[in-house]
């Protein structure tokens, strides 16, 4: 007989991850009920928990860069070069807004079709004081979702995506002096379990082993 963690769907902001990421976490044990670590963050101050971490909390201190530029202080703080048309689009994009904010001539043909009118997040900007959307492997591509910087006219940099996934701010991803392959590193970042969530899972398993497994095993 196996004891399953009852709340399989974990909302990552509840554990300090600054993005609207929800993941199924399945943990089974043959020793007693498994208890997942309680949430530490909330959107409601009445809960007595820490407030959700926002986009600004995660990336607000990074130096400004232009599209196509690499920061002198961090080779992973780099963003993709935008086409002239996409530069015009993001300049007309409001934080939290949609492509409907643009002038008519900037809109894509797919936006004119009934099937395309619901995809309002593509080419969108994030908001400083809100959670980021789920970080995917295409987070550095402006047209793949709401991955526009809240203020600067560009898509997210590799470092910004990593910070929103709660990687340490100096995490390297590759060996020193190795060639940086942008698409590969973006895949590492987007496919990762958020580091903070991984820590919570590890802490929960460690606590279960210490308090439930070991005492039962030595009886």
d(CA 99, CA 31): 52
For residues 107 and 30, which has the higher predicted lDDT (pLDDT)? 107
Res 114 pLDDT > 90:
no
Q: What is the mean pLDDT of residues 76-81?
A: 98
What total number of domains does the chain contain? Answer: 1
Residue 30 lies in a domain: yes
Residue 68 lies in a domain: no
Lowest mean pLDDT among 46-50, 182-186, 199-203: 46-50
Instruction: Kindly give the pairing relationship between strand 3-4 and strand 28-29.
Output: antiparallel
Residue 1: pLDDT band with limits 50, 70, 90: very low
pLDDT value of residue 169? 97
Residue 210 lies in a domain: yes
The residue range of the domain holding 203 is: 3-53+194-217
């Amino acid at each position: 007989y196996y004891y399953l963690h009852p709340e399989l769907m974990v909302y990552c902001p509840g554990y300090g991850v600054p993005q609207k990421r929800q993941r199924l976490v399945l943990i089974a044990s043959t020793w007693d009920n498994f208890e997942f670590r309680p949430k530490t963050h909330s959107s409601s101050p009445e809960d007595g928990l820490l407030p959700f971490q926002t986009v600004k909390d995660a990336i607000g201190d990074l130096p400004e860069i232009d599209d196509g530029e690499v920061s002198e202080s961090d080779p992973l703080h780099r963003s993709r070069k935008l086409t002239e048309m996409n530069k015009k689009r993001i300049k007309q994009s409001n934080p939290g807004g949609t492509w409907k904010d643009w002038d008519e001539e900037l809109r894509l043909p797919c936006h004119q079709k009934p099937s395309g009118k619901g995809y309002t997040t593509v080419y969108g900007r994030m908001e400083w004081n809100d959670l980021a959307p789920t970080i995917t492997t295409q987070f550095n591509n402006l047209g793949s979702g709401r991955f526009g910087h809240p203020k600067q006219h560009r898509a997210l940099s590799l470092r910004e995506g990593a910070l929103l996934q709660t990687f340490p701010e100096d995490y390297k991803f590759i060996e020193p002096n190795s060639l940086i392959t942008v698409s590969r590193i973006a895949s590492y970042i987007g496919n990762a379990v958020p580091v903070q969530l991984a820590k919570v899972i590890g802490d929960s398993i460690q606590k279960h082993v210490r308090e439930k497994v070991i005492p039962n095993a030595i009886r």
